[in-house]
Amino acid sequence: MARQITFALHHDQQTGTVNPPEWVVRFPYGDTAIRKKLTAYGIDQESYGQDFRIRKPLQDIYSIIDELKQQLPDIQIQVRGTNPRTDGGSSGVNHVHPAISRYRKELEVRQYSPQTIKSYLSCFTAFVHYWHPRDVSSLTRDDIMNYMHELVRRRSISASFQNQIINAIKFYFEQVEGLTRTKYDLPRPEKPDILPKVLSPLEIERLLTQPDNCKHRCMLMLAYGAGLRNAEILALRPRHIDSERMMIHVEKGKGKKDRYIPLPERLLPELRDYFKRYQPKTYLFEGQKKGEPYSAKSLQMVVKNNARAAGIRKTVTPHMLRHSYVTHLLEAGTDIRYIQELLGHSNIHTTEIYTHVAAHKKPQSPLDLLNMNIRLSDE
């Protein structure tokens, strides 16, 4: 059964006489992950056990949906029975909403990346849902501050996600509506000083030798051996591998910047073997259908499953292999300016954070300099 959740407005409540309205929530009952998430939001099962129900205003339902999509990105969610309908369909507010349509058009005209368009639209659509049926163009700075306060207080969103929401809202008021920055200037959360998480060379060896599938092995070797971002790996095409010059061409990476990265010698025979077996049509790594790129979620699972099989107890992500690539280059004595160029960083300060992780940058403990012998106790 497909992973789908439906929030249906109970027919007795469509008159609007009951506040908050009651929703019937339907989902695959055997999906314990979905049931656990929904239970946390306050759904209750009816006494006769046929339906789950929840009493929430529409804006809270959309807030729940936004969270669920962040936590379970593979599920499909529908909202039925809301009014007014903007497209003849089931949802009261969707991408045909005038403000959202103008927002999408502005993003596309400015040629933002598909991922940026997706994340900005998600944040802005949730913002429109929250204020529906109020016109978002009439909102004041205090209104937006109250919205952000609600997200931080009730949903405990992360600082990075809060920044993403602020960027999405500011884009609407400044770029779509053309208002001055000062009128809707919003405070930024204090960014936590978190260092990149890396794997040791021995852990990398165990991880890279784990996959039996040559496609999986090539993707892992690219993530570590070339320090590519997830999206860059999945966007690669066969023509981007230059075996004559032993270079990888990253075309329109983050910030729409091109760059070249040395192709590891160990990787070339692996790629040739993979190409003969799979014969990709359009992208270097394709999914179940020829011509379509391998999915980001599948790549994450490849890394996670092979790390677990290799006995690595850390939570390993594809981006951690990029962090490890940089850190190991620094530990090998590679010039940081060259590393900046390889990574595609605009600012050297972004690259310098890895100096706090590289082992050779750490001074020897004074304890290790003492000339002393300690007899270990037998106890």
Catalytic residues: 229, 254, 319, 322, 345, 354
Q: Map residue 5 onto helix, strand or coil.
A: strand
The candidate with the shortest Cα–Cα distance to 63, out of 140, 143, 127, 153, is 127
Q: What are phi and psi of 253, to 5 degrees?
A: -75, -160
Angle, alpha carbons 129-184-177 (nearest 5°) = 70
Which amino acid is it at 19?
Answer: N
Angle, alpha carbons 164-168-174 (nearest 5°) = 135
E-strand spans in 31-110?
Answer: 44-45, 52-55, 76-80
The candidate with the shortest Cα–Cα distance to 139, out of 290, 320, 156, 147, is 147
- How far apart are the C-alpha atoms of 231 and 236, rounded to whole Å? 9
- The first and second tokens of residue 144, run together, are 């937006």
Q: Residues 360, 330: contact at Cβ < 8 Å?
A: yes
- The first and second tokens of residue 268, run together, are 């070339």
> How does DSSP assign 178-196, residue by residue?
---TTTT--PPPPPP-PPP
Residue environment code for 188-207, b if the CB has 16+ CB neighbours within 10 A, otherwise e? eeeeeeeeeebbeeebbebb
